[in-house]
Amino acid sequence: MHSQSIMPHLKVSILKLVMKTFLSRMILLFSTITSINVKDFVDAAKAQANVTRTNHIMWTMGDDFQYQFAESWFRQMDKFIKYVNKDGEINALYSTPSIYTDAKNAANGSWPLKTDDYFPYADGDNAYWTGYFTSRPGFKRFVRQLSGYYLAARQVEFLAGKNKTLPNTSKLGDALGVAQHHDAVSGTAKQHTTNDYAKRLAIGATEAEATVSSAFSCLVSNKIKGQCGGSQDTTFSQCQLLNISYCPSTEAGSSKPLVVVVYNPLGWNRTDIIRIPVNDSSLVVTDSSGKAIESQFVPVDKVTSELRNFYLKAYTGQSSNQIPQNWLVFQVTVPPLGWATYFISKEPKTAERTHSDNNSLKDTAVDEVVEIGPGNLKMLFSSASGQLTRMFNKVTGVDTPIQQSYLWYASSTDSQQSSGAYIFRPDSNTPTIVAQSVHLDVFRGPLVHEVHQQFSPWIYQVTRLYKDKQHAEIEYTIGPIPTDDNIGKEVITKMTTNMVTNKTSYTDSNGRDFLKRVYDQRNDWNLSVNQPIAGNYYPLNLGTFITDSKSELSVLVDRATGGASINDGEIELMLHRSPPHNLLYMRSTLAITTRDGNSLLHHIFLLD
């Protein structure tokens, strides 16, 4: 709805709460429209016009749990518009975004150009809406993962040809659309509502998985598009639970070779590393031409095995008879919008197996430097503390001292404004460090080096450096966050370097480009800082970076999360959170204290 005045011509964007007040009075008065209602409306329109360029103002309609009875609302608005327009001072009318835009353009007004955004925003001195950037990280990852899978599934569905008698991708598409609700992927819905979102996604994913399997069975049989249907000669299964090392097809021993088909939905060639759980440590990998592919066995870490035991029973109703001891790791090369086939079989007795060398480093009196990295990028760790101390790139020559640590902010429980699903408010600006020293296990092989670190009983990390990649991959398993002390915890990881960044960092703008962020500074207004931590957190969908004249450190994320650069040369990311209260809209706690509070995350570190 918009309104325009005759003197001046007016279209108004009015606060929805004001509009709701007007219309609520109308409902209470049934069909009676009073002069008081009309005067309030006109006065509000004029007030808004005084701070709006041109005489066209849009009044947005909408609010949580409002306007369910459309006929009643529109009947009253019809009458209201009639009386508002009666004296000719204001012209109110139903509108659309295109009508409003056309009117604005026709006014030939001048407009300021805003090149940044409005983050982070707050509706109170201590109410920065920066907590939801991270809330429910597991669900955020579920949405991100299925969004990519949906794209690939639609492609192969099209290539094979849609068939009304076969499963399709529509349910997954619908569920992903629903998951874009502002209280869904944001992580701010109540628990039972989040469960429903996840259930819809799981149902859609199951049908999409069947669609992909059927389509690939058709495609590898070289059938003409449209001829697929009925039983297929080849049956494919997919490994949707690799995050807990569960894949029955790859774990089952067989005298026949295992056929692995890898699909690339991107428009360019892709070379990457894949890993599958196996029980047999005497396997070899060959490509479609019979050429042997270099592979490596990497042990499945203890935490992943424990997660597998817990979730497998919940997922299948039964415990696993045998937990795979290793990941089989090998490199694949796949053409754009195409697939590649690999074969895994028992190796000849004369063949050599490549297993990762294991070095378990416990606390020692001598602080030795442990270097990892089979390629050009190297990471150095202290054997005494088990902590990262340095990164350097042999190609670029960049050599940077760097420390990575885990910490947590205590959640504020202030009765006026606590930390919650939406709001991040730490009780103190100084976070608590989780561990000063950690146990370190190092696994080396020709394709990848891995460092396994246990920071606490509820924080486990795996760092991977690959032979042909110029970045490090960091995988975290966090949770359940302990709350026995009745203290909510906002868990962060912090990367600290000696870079001179002048209070400046860069964060992505919804994955499209990067915006410059300066600590405690806004370009459009004078900032008064009441929350120096929460007030400098920004949403990350792609990543963040800091830079100086010598080097640049970038972190890419695998799901939406919150990030900041509080001090020079630092990047901190909020990974998980368990605020005990949520006083804004959602009348339930966000805290997840059961075993399903674990969250598995991947981040990419780049040093240039």
Residues 92-115 pLDDT 10s: 999 999 999 999 999 998 888 888
User: What's the confidence (pLDDT) of residue 600?
Assistant: 59
Position 312 scores a pLDDT of 82
- 370-407 pLDDT, tens digit each: 999 999 999 999 999 999 999 999 998 999 999 999 99
Position 68 confidence tier, pLDDT thresholds 50, 70, 90: confident
Amino acid 608: pLDDT:
62
Mean of pLDDT over the chain: 86
The percentage of the chain sitting over the pLDDT mark of 70, rounded to a whole number, equals 85
Average pLDDT over residues 432-446: 94
Please give the residue that has the higher pLDDT: either 589 or 202.
202
Higher pLDDT, 16 or 72: 72
39-74 burial, b if ≥16 CB within 10 A, otherwise e? Answer: eebbebbbebbeebebbbbbbebeeeeeeeeeeebe
3-state secondary structure of 564: strand
Look at residue 584 in the predicted model and tell me its pLDDT: 42
Asked whether residue 351 carries a pLDDT value surpassing 70, the answer given is no
* Confidence check: pLDDT of 500 > 70: yes
Q: Kindly report, residue by residue over 277-318, the tens digit of the pLDDT.
A: 999 888 999 999 999 999 999 999 988 988 888 888 777 777
Identify which of 151-155, 241-245, 324-328, 348-352 has the greatest average pLDDT: 151-155
pLDDT-derived band at 230 (thresholds 50, 70, 90) equals low
Task: Calculate mean pLDDT across residues 451-473.
Answer: 94
In the prediction, which pLDDT does 103 show?
Answer: 93
Task: Give the tens place of pLDDT for each residue, 186-205.
Answer: 999 999 999 999 999 999 99
- Per-residue pLDDT, 581: 60
Answer yes or no: is pLDDT of 133 > 90: yes
The answer, yes or no, to whether residue 1 has pLDDT greater than 70, is: no
Residue 82: its H or E element: helix 70-84
Selected residue with higher pLDDT from 126 and 355: 126
Distance between CA atoms of 202 and 193, rounded to whole angstroms?
Answer: 14
Give the pLDDT confidence score for residue 163 in this predicted structure.
78
Please, which residues have CB within 8 angstroms of residue 267's CB and are 6 or more apart in sequence? 336, 337
Look at residues 433, 471, 472, 480 and name the one whose alpha carbon lies nearest to residue 455. 433
For 314-349, the pLDDT digits (tens) are 777 777 677 888 999 999 999 999 999 999 998 876
* pLDDT attached to residue 595: 41
3-state SS string for 259-270:
EEEEEECCCCCE
Return contacts of 49-55, CB within 8 angstroms, 24+ apart.
49/5, 49/8, 49/10, 49/12, 52/12, 52/13, 53/109, 53/110, 53/111, 54/11, 54/103, 54/104, 54/107, 54/109, 55/4, 55/5, 55/8, 55/9, 55/10, 55/11, 55/107
Confidence class for position 8, pLDDT limits 50, 70, 90? very low
Q: Is 173 or 75 the better-scoring residue by pLDDT?
A: 173
Task: State the pLDDT at residue 226.
Answer: 54
* pLDDT tens-place string over residues 543-586: 999 999 999 999 999 999 999 999 999 999 999 999 876 544 33
**Per-residue pLDDT for 366 more than 90?**
no
| Chain mean position to CA 78 | 43
Q: How far is CA 412 from CA 122, 429, 586, 591, in A?
A: 16, 11, 17, 13
Neighbouring-strand partners of residue 507: 515, 544
Report residue 174's pLDDT band, with 50, 70 and 90 as the boundaries. Answer: very high
Is the omega angle on the peptide bond into residue 8 within 30 degrees of 0, that is, cis?
Answer: yes
Query: What percent of the chain has pLDDT above 90?
Result: 58
Tokens representing 393 are 């790139």
When mean pLDDT is compared over 47-61, 111-125, 135-149, the highest value belongs to 135-149
Question: Confidence band (pLDDT; 50, 70, 90) for 120?
Answer: very high
Helix (H, G, I), strand (E, B) or coil at 299: strand
- pLDDT digit string (tens) for 201-224? 999 999 999 999 999 888 887 655
Q: How confident is the model at residue 17 (pLDDT cuts 50, 70, 90)?
A: very low
Q: For 501-520, write each residue's pLDDT tens digit.
A: 999 999 999 888 999 999 99
205, two tokens:
């994913």
Of the pLDDT bands very low, low, confident and very high (cuts 50, 70, 90), residue 353 is low
Give the mean model confidence (pLDDT) for residues 165-180. 94
pLDDT of residue 252: 79
Label residue 601 by pLDDT band (50, 70, 90): low
pLDDT the model gives residue 492: 97
Q: What's the whole-model pTM score? A: 0.86
